[in-house]
Chains A and B, each alone.
Chain A
């Protein structure tokens, strides 16, 4: 009884301290999610219907390209295209970010601070401005082609291609890959690396058997933090893809602008569910690896 009494005031205090965050979470996370689910499952007169969800999977349109004219599932095609570009961007971020994070984490403390600040500085600028900057760099008469001309190469046509969109995504989301990996590596116990070398691992063995498995939590959160925003981006594809690559984010924006709130909500909802399933699988994979 006594211990219960002693615990009670503390738990009230804890609840009080949590209250602002709970209110914030309910107002800005739970309520909007409920609205999205509600809009997604109703029609314009707010009667329950799954038509919007069905439309995402069944709507077709005609595409004409070099391969001829054919009928395609509109939104599935858009989704697959978004996923493809997002996965490519994520992989590039990982391939560039992992070694970079490792090198930074091994640098002297002062250098580490400077490097991390340099990586974070672009994040302080508005990302629309950063995207516009890439437009001027990648244009046919832009900075990149100017430089290439100076050394007698080019011109290359990048703006309006998928490559340009990937460049934009990689640039915008790269810090979100490097920071979580770096923070895991910076905390890694130096003695574990020494132990692995002592027990017969050369440099690559240490990386493969100790550093990589121990850095996986950072890798997974990096992947999550790059994949999710790049799969749902619309601005980058509009500006750097010249609007030629209609992505799932563009679809949501387009439906919203066209006042099809219910269908926009349905696309957003489906995207969210798919991403949640993907993340759950990845998390399970990570846990299983950690348990071995």
Chain B
């Protein structure tokens, strides 16, 4: 596969605050790559560096083998779909899409053909004369995509383009974006904080935290083989336990020795053990490898989400079997349900559900801006 963009040792700080710390990333032709991470992880800054709106303090951006560090945005063969679309309110739908072509002085007939083709691609044929301010969020989104694609860029950058849409529309747009990417063959670099979105759309997911890349891989790799506690926690739900490797394929945690499928660690090496909530079987107490008490049960439609207290550590388990609060149950875990990770700076920070609450999770997703403020304040406090 051909490399389109290479980021080499990119470092960037704003007002002394490091936002990107030595980022290295290869983006290949025709791939759907997602930058995934919480607010303030540097994903949007990475996108803006590729677009040319920011310049790196250190490092190089290579575009098709050429260093483009000093190239202004209007000379880069990449286009951006902005978070709130940034459509030109003084122009109608047709003129918004035609905007980049008019700048290039493309002949009139060609503009007409190109714009119509793009509007057909995003299913907005017949909207040419409409004012963009009269469109719904989803329609504005489509205009923004058509406008960014009309001059056939090599790379399309999408900055949380679906964040402002409601859930149903977001799902539709996800599959539509994927379809458009397949149809045009243009490389998409997609920024999101929504792990589900990242998993369902991407060829490659880049998980970022605190200005550093934590893991690069396919969605399946990222989910099944997270490299550290941050990734395991951020992608889906995880029970993360302190464990010790006893030998290859033998690990001890929660006071029990388990068979597993991981090898290559040192003897007695402390590790983080990940068990996904859906991989735990509930068995009668006397047959369980681990035993505990159910402390809460939440019905979520497809399954129940239950919290089980095992010697003070709260596990999350997803099951279709009904159990009651205060019931004593046993847990059984298959060897291939256990994933071993080396210890990292994130060890011990995630994966215990003792303070778990659904509302907190919701707030985390919905009130992005507030969260950003909280994070910033926390960072400032931390520095002091």
Residues of A within 8 A of B (CB): 189, 191-192, 194-202, 205, 209-210, 213-214, 289-290, 292
Docked-complex contact B103 and A205, CB < 8 angstroms: yes
Number of A-B contacts (CB under 8 A): 64
Does B44 make an interface contact (CB < 8 A)? Answer: no
Chain A residues near B86: list those with CB within 8 A: 189, 191-192, 194-195
Closest to A290 in B: B90
- Are A209 and B82 interface neighbours, CB within 8 A? no
Structural contact, B72 and A197, CB atoms closer than 8 A: yes
Closest to B103 in A: A200
B62 lies within 8 A of chain A by Cβ: no
Does B79 touch A at the CB level, under 8 Å? yes
Residues of B within 8 A of A194 (CB): 53, 73, 80, 82, 86
| Contact call B103/A199, Cβ cutoff below 8 A | yes
Beyond the given A197-B52, A197-B74, A214-B89, could you list 4 further A-B residue pairs with CB under 8 A, ordered by the A residue number? A191-B86, A198-B74, A199-B147, A202-B74
A-B contact pairs, 27 of them (CB 8 A): A191-B82, A191-B84, A192-B86, A194-B86, A195-B82, A195-B88, A197-B52, A197-B53, A198-B51, A198-B52, A198-B53, A198-B74, A199-B79, A199-B99, A199-B147, A199-B148, A200-B74, A200-B103, A200-B104, A200-B151, A201-B74, A202-B74, A209-B99, A214-B88, A290-B90, A292-B91, A292-B95
From residue B157, how far is it (CB to closest CB) to chain A in Å?
9
Residues of B within 8 A of A189 (CB): 86
Which of A192, A198, A201, A214 is most buried by chain B, counting CB atoms within 10 A of its CB? A198
- The answer to whether A195 touches B80, judged by C-beta atoms less than 8 angstroms apart, is yes
- Among the listed A191, A199, A210, A289, which residue makes an inter-chain contact with B100, where contact means beta carbons less than 8 Å apart? A199
Given the complex, which residues of B lie within 8 Å of A202, measured CB to CB?
Answer: 72, 74
Interfacial residues of chain B within 146-161, with CB under 8 A of chain A in the complex? 147-148, 151
User: In whole Å, how far is B58's beta carbon from the nearest beta carbon of chain A?
Assistant: 23
How far apart are A206's CB and chain B's nearest CB, in angstroms? Answer: 9
Distance of A214 Cα from B100 Cα, bound (Å): 18
Does A198 lie within 8 Å of B80, measured CB to CB? yes
Closest A residue, CB atoms, query B92: A292
Chain B 74-113 near chain A by CB (<8 Å), digits 1 or 0: 1000011010101111111001000110111000000000
Residues in A whose Cβ lies below 8 Å from that of B102: 209
B25: min CB distance to chain A, Å: 20
Question: Hey, which chain A residues are within 8 Å of B84, CB to CB?
Answer: 191
Chain A residues positioned under 8 Å from B100 (CB to CB): 199-200
Task: Please name the 3 residue pairs, one residue from A and one from B, whose CB atoms are nearest each other, closest first.
Answer: A191-B86, A195-B86, A199-B100
Inter-chain contact B79/A198, CB cutoff 8 Å? yes
